[in-house]
Amino acid sequence: MRGLGIDLNTATAAVMISTVLITCYNLSSSTISWAIDKYYTASVRINSEDALFRDFFIWLAEEQTEELDLSRVFNARKTANVPGDLDSGSPMGEEYYGGIGNVRGKPIYRVQYLPAVGSRYYLRYRGHKIRILMDEVKDSITMHRMPLRKIIWLRSYGRDPRVLKELLEEVLSKSNARDQGKTIVFHATMSTHGMPPRWERALARPNRSMETVILDGAQKELIIRDIEEYILPATAKWYANRGLPYRRGYLLYGPPGTGKTSLSMALAGHFNLEVYALSLSAGSLTDDTLASLFALLPSECIVLLEDVDASNVKRTADPTATPTTDMPSSLLNSFAPSHTPSSKPSVSFSGLLNAIDGAASREGRILIMTTNHRERLDPALIRPGRVDLQISFEYATRQVIESLFLNLYDVDIGDREALRMPDGFPPVERILELAGEFGRALPEGVFTPAEIQGLLLMHKKDPVAAVAAAGEWARGKRGEKGVEVEVQEAETEGVEGVENVNGVSHAKVLWDKEAEISR
Ligand SMILES: Nc1ncnc2c1ncn2[C@@H]1O[C@H](COP(=O)(O)OP(=O)(O)OP(=O)(O)O)[C@@H](O)[C@H]1O
């Protein structure tokens, strides 16, 4: 060292001092950043189970693309933007109403970039720098069996959390605006990988107008008035004062395709309520899952229990069995797969009743049960208190047939532009006449509204053609339904047919009144 002209002592001292300085620098910078994080930032955490998680992602993906500094690691996904679509590009994979390409044409795809788990990102929001950290954590209590759950940390600099609150308020108001005029449907997700059962947002449908659900008589008004009364704040108080559970239940029953689901959805839109839909035939549904799902319901919503008589779940009461409890025998009936009557039932009848009105069941909700076979239901399930109003759905009467026609072609309801109605589309007065002709061309009490709607949709731009096709269509259905239908060319007895529509003479339909319609 001496030969190099460097004093060994000086060199050693220099190395030591440098080491100390570097260590101090490292320590102080990590201490400073720790101190900044601890004392000079505000943070908010959003869990993936919370609806805000989804809303934040949509907001980020749709509104903040310019402001988000996606460093080097990020997620990319192909997303569809269907013009005028609902939650297009939803990062949570929400379904499209009507299906992509179904009615709206080919979607336009683009790449969407989103934060990846474990990486930090920065966003400029109203002049503030916000750090976004996507992370995965385990629930500490049940760590051994819980899967990783995602969380988002948002952090702003400065002790005031106001900017984070403003950001989340904006996220929420954008989400509310997106959902405006839509009916949100949640589906049950059963326990998977140790995750508890939960409700997951599945669809956002444009509200269905009550006018488009066509029912005979005053049934529609009856249920609307009943719900109107039920949701009044004074009604909740009234129930509480009398010690009554604040719940309301409806049973909609009738053949498939007569409008039970349509009415439920229209009611949800009319009263601005979310729909929580569940099918009792869902494979992994158990008493516990059902109870948990009912306990997770918000206080004001519609619970739609469809097909409560579902074909693969059936009461398997053994008439010879001796009840081992003092419960009514009907409560001991259980639901079990019909093809394996001896197999363990997934949801017992008492489990179902408990979920519906047990102690843990939410108050304030509206329960709508639908069935195609009311006669198969246990009276205990539909007794007053569980079911307060029953609405019968029938095969279409003349009035319903005419209303379905008017609903489709009435220019006040229909969207002439959307359907690109051809020039020369009949005026409203003529549509009214055609509705009468259509109503007379089809027999009453034979076809479901869904079937008639199917016929009308084949001629959605041409009401005259729909009337002209009605007789032939009805005859074609004869085989399917086992209904006796005679189509005659001349004036004859029976239901008056369609004649001279658009200058063409059409067949007349005579329904054999004797023929019993098999239902
Ligand atoms: N009463 C009705 N008024 C208007 N449209 C109806 C009516 N009934 C059925 N439809 C039409 O038929 C289709 C099927 O109706 P929906 O699903 O409501 O029937 P459903 O009775 O719930 O059938 P399922 O018992 O099979 O569930 C929908 O497109 C709906 O618009």
Give the pLDDT of the chain (519 residues) as one tens digit per residue: 555 667 778 888 888 888 878 777 776 667 776 666 767 788 899 988 888 988 888 888 776 666 566 555 566 666 665 433 434 334 333 333 233 334 445 666 767 667 777 777 888 888 888 888 888 876 655 545 555 678 889 999 887 889 999 999 999 999 999 999 999 999 988 766 666 788 888 889 999 999 899 988 788 999 999 999 999 989 999 988 988 889 899 999 999 999 999 999 999 999 999 999 998 876 678 888 888 888 889 888 999 998 888 644 445 443 333 333 333 333 223 333 333 334 444 788 888 888 888 766 678 899 999 999 999 888 888 988 889 999 999 999 999 999 999 988 875 544 555 555 666 778 888 888 999 999 999 998 999 999 999 999 999 888 999 999 999 999 888 666 665 554 433 333 333 333 333 332 232 333 333 333 333
Supply the pLDDT for residue 305: 92
Contact 302, 230 (CB under 8 A): no
511 CA distance to ligand 1 middle (Å):
25
3-state secondary structure 320-355: CCCCCCCCCHHHHCEEECCCCCCCCCCCEHHHHHHH
Contact 105, 143 (CB under 8 A): no
Choosing from 216, 262, 280 the residue with most ligand 1 atoms within 8 A of its CB, the one to mutate for a pocket test is: 262
Supply the pLDDT for residue 332: 28
Choosing from 252, 258, 372 the residue with most ligand 1 atoms within 8 A of its CB, the one to mutate for a pocket test is: 258
374 CA distance to ligand 1 middle (Å):
17
| Closest atom of ligand 1 relative to the 450 alpha carbon | 12
Supply the pLDDT for residue 196: 76
Q: For the range 78-81, what are the long-range contacts, defined as Cβ-Cβ under 8 Å and sequence gap of 24 or more?
A: 78/109, 78/110, 78/111, 78/112, 79/109, 79/110, 79/111, 79/112, 80/107, 80/108, 80/109, 81/107, 81/108, 81/109, 81/110
Supply the pLDDT for residue 70: 58
Contact 289, 318 (CB under 8 A): no
Say how far apart CA 196 and CA 183 lie, in whole Å: 25
Q: Please tell me if the CB atom of residue 264 comes closer than 6 angstroms to any atom of ligand 1.
A: no
CB contact burial 15-41 (16+ within 10 A = b; e otherwise)? eeeeeeeeeeeeeeeeeeeeeeeeeee
In one-letter notation, the amino acid at residue 519 is R
Supply the pLDDT for residue 47: 87
Sign of CA dihedral 281, 283, 286, 289: negative
Runs of H (alpha helix) within 45-191: 51-63, 162-179
Looking at the DSSP assignment, which residues form a beta bridge with residue 198? 189
Q: What is the dihedral of CA 259, 261, 262, 264, to 10 degrees?
A: 120
- Residue indicated by tokens 């449907």: 185
Look at the pTM and tell me if it is higher than 0.80. Answer: no
Supply the pLDDT for residue 488: 38
Q: Which domains, and CATH codes, for the chain?
A: 41-83+108-180 (no CATH), 198-313+346-392 (3.40.50.300), 398-481 (no CATH)
Q: Please tell me if the CB atom of residue 256 comes closer than 6 angstroms to any atom of ligand 1.
A: yes
- Residues 232-273 have pLDDT tens digits of 989 999 988 988 889 899 999 999 999 999 999 999 999 999
Q: Please tell me if the CB atom of residue 406 comes closer than 6 angstroms to any atom of ligand 1.
A: no
The enclosing H or E element of 224 equals: helix 219-230
Supply the pLDDT for residue 307: 83
Q: How many CB atoms lie within 10 A of CB 516?
A: 10
Name which of 332, 313, 328 is nearest 371 in CA terms.
313
Say how far apart CA 513 and CA 509 lie, in whole Å: 12
Supply the pLDDT for residue 505: 29
| Closest atom of ligand 1 relative to the 255 alpha carbon | 25
- Residues 102-148 have pLDDT tens digits of 444 566 676 766 777 777 788 888 888 888 888 887 665 554 555 56
449 CA distance to ligand 1 middle (Å):
7
Q: How many CB atoms lie within 10 A of CB 415?
A: 9
Residue nearest to atom 12 of ligand 1 (CA): 450
Say how far apart CA 147 and CA 360 lie, in whole Å: 27
